[in-house]
Amino acid sequence: MKNLLALVVIISISSNIFADHHKEEDKPKRENPNHLMSFKSCMETKAGIGWFLSAADDVFDDIKVNGEEKDKSWNDEKWIEAMALADLASNYSTVYDVWCKDMINQRMKMRENRMNHKKQKTKD
């Protein structure tokens, strides 16, 4: 029984020793650990917001032009579509404000600081 217990302990300890083979290089790197989205994802989100707003505006224009000629069910369907698109734009705007706005402002400040630093170098 002692031999069996010793064998189990040795196997469990040795498996833990060999389990630590993960390196930091294997992990995907983010731009900043506090940023959930990458810069590219933020730009795609911003473009998506514009698309949703444009699509909602097109539906509102369609209601304005054809609303009186069509029946109530068509009008109701178009109003629901316009509200859904506007709501999606609102939700994506919230995501952009929370996760992207500060990151983009920080990038712009960094870019501005680099440009100012280069200008000062050329003056000296």
The pLDDT tens digits of the residues spanning 27-66 come to 555 555 556 778 888 889 999 999 999 999 999 999 999 9
Tokens 């020793």 belong to residue? 17
The pLDDT value given to residue 39? 81
Terminal alpha carbon distance of the chain:
81
Pick 44 or 10 by higher pLDDT: 44
Q: Give the residue-averaged pLDDT of 77-88.
A: 94
**How many domains, the chain?**
1
Q: Is the residue at 21 inside a domain?
A: no
On whether residue 47 sits in a domain, the answer given is yes
Task: Please report whether residue 6 resides in a domain.
Answer: no
Whether 116 is covered by a domain: the verdict is yes
Within a domain: 30:
no
Residue 29 lies in a domain: no
- Nearest Cα to 81, choosing from 95, 99, 60, 101? 60
- pLDDT over 90 for what percent of the chain? 38
Q: Taking the model in full, what pTM does it have?
A: 0.58
- Give the model's pLDDT for residue 81: 95
CA-to-CA distance for 49 and 54, rounded, in angstroms? 9
Range of the domain at 56: 36-123
